[in-house]
Structure 1
């Protein structure tokens, strides 16, 4: 699985929100602490907000916060918002003795999907993987 820079930034921003104390977190603070270009971050935060993963508030006391508890938002949730539903590549055309490789790639994709659906933002923020 290839994770784009945009998706990595989104995961880092969401984890930053998961680790933050209650209340809005300014985008400037997220960008600075995670070394994410601000313009890029603004687009990612908008995407996460439109998907319902985060909320926002404008103004001097404004910022962003998670829409649900960090224990309820998985890495897969964030990746799905940013990447969309990935198409599965067709690997069924291997000839001869290489034919079982298609099953290996399929099992690997399933493992990745299962793992990402089990790990929450809370796990990452607390450095306690399941």
Structure 2
């Protein structure tokens, strides 16, 4: 699985929000803590807000926070939002046909893992492969 820099940033931003105390977290604080370019982060946070993963509040006391508990947001929620679902890779002719089954099994394992791991597990270090 190839994960873009944009997706890595989105995962890091959501992790930062999951670890934060209750209340809005300024985008600048997220950007500094996770070393994410601010302009890039603003676009990511907008995408996460439109998808209902985060809420936002404008103003001097504003910022971002998770729209639901970190225990209900999975890595797959963020990855699917930013990357989209991978497309079917096509058929393999002749003796190469079993390769299609291998790739299918690999996608199933990836999906299973990513839909089971929540941001609550990530921030509490309760994840182990």
Indicate the TM-score class for this superposition, using the shorter chain for normalisation. over 0.9
Using the size of structure 2 for normalisation, the TM-score is: 0.95
Question: 1:11-26 counterparts in 2 under 5 A?
Answer: 11-26=11-26
CA distance in 2 between partners of 1:84 and 1:100 (Å): 26
Question: 1:1-130 counterparts in 2 under 5 A?
Answer: 1-90=1-90, 92-96=91-95, 98-129=96-127
CA RMSD in angstroms, aligned pairs only: 1.0
Equivalent residue pairs, number: 128
Contact 2:27 2:38 in 1 (8 A): yes
Q: Deviations over 1:61-120 (max 9, x none)?
A: 000000000000000001111112331222x22422x32111111100100011000000
CA distance in 1 between partners of 2:35 and 2:2 (Å): 21
Residue 3 of structure 1 aligns to a residue in which SS?
coil
The runs of at least 4 consecutive aligned structure 1 residues that moved more than 2 Å come to none
Task: List gaps (5 residues or longer) in structure 2.
Answer: none
Using the size of structure 1 for normalisation, the TM-score is: 0.94
CA distance in 2 between partners of 1:67 and 1:73 (Å): 9
Contact 2:92 2:99 in 1 (8 A): no
Contact 1:24 1:57 in 2 (8 A): yes
